[in-house]
């Protein structure tokens, strides 16, 4: 009987495709266990080299733009504009500025629920020497507030307004008001300390950065 010699290629012909490569990979992993760990370590270092500098830029820019104080020096103005937001004393602060003689008109953005006693009291607090105007912005954004002030300024011939908001909102609000209003804008932060943690500040930074990009893209007419 004639015996047939089987070659290695023929012996592997009935095996699943690339099976010998998988066996080879397992063998190399057993022979060189540090190779896989080395690749993972290099990948982690490469990712860290990108992510850590990006985070450093994000938080550093966020601090200087949104956490550091950005209030302007007060001066006589035509109107005091209180932007919508938290019940953090901003409405009382705006009314108090009017009582101190910085303006005889207070414009309050009504971002509160219907029947809210805070806004109801403020809107009814006008006197013989102080006019209080309450409005609902449309669109319901900082841009909508700036557009309302621009229209009111054209009617009332205002040349200078004081704008009150969160300190971390002042940079973005200033940019938007300068897009919509041709006069002088003085920015004042609400006199309130915000005890936010890192997660909250991260959200605020991201939101404000996004809002700045949106403001640049849309412009005043894009609201």
Domain ranges of the chain: 79-192+211-222
At residue 17, the pLDDT reads 53
Q: Of 111, 117, 106, 92, which is closest to residue 190 (Cα–Cα)?
A: 92
The domain defined by 79-192+211-222 folds into: Rossmann fold (3.40.50)
CA dihedral (214, 216, 218, 223) in degrees, to 10, reads 70
Q: What is the phi/psi pair of residue 103, to 5°?
A: -165, 160
At residue 83, the pLDDT reads 95
Q: Of 144, 122, 123, which is closest to residue 220 (Cα–Cα)?
A: 144
Model pTM greater than 0.95? Answer: no
Residues of the chain under the 70 pLDDT cut = 1-38, 221-223
Q: Of 179, 153, 182, which is closest to residue 80 (Cα–Cα)?
A: 153
């Amino acid at each position: 009987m004639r015996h047939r010699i089987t070659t290695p290629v023929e012996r592997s012909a009935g095996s699943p495709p690339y099976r010998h490569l998988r066996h080879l990979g397992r063998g190399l992993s057993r022979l060189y266990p540090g190779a896989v760990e080395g690749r993972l370590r290099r990948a982690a270092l490469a990712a860290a080299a990108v992510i850590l500098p990006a985070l450093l830029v994000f938080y550093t820019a966020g601090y200087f733009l949104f956490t550091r104080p950005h209030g302007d020096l007060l001066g006589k103005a035509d109107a005091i504009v209180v932007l919508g937001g938290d019940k953090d004393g901003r409405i009382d602060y705006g009314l108090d500025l009017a009582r101190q003689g910085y303006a005889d008109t207070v414009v309050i953005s009504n971002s509160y629920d219907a029947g809210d006693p805070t806004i109801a009291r403020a809107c009814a607090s006008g006197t013989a020497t102080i006019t209080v105007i309450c409005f609902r912005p449309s669109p319901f954004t900082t841009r909508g507030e700036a557009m309302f002030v621009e229209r009111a300024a054209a009617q009332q011939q205002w040349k200078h307004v004081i704008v009150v908001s969160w300190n971390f909102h002042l940079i973005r609000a200033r940019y938007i008001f300068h897009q919509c209003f041709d006069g002088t804008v003085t920015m004042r932060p609400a006199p309130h300390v915000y005890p936010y943690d890192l997660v909250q500040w991260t959200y605020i930074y991201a939101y404000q950065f996004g809002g700045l990009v949106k403001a640049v893209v849309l412009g005043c007419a894009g609201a």
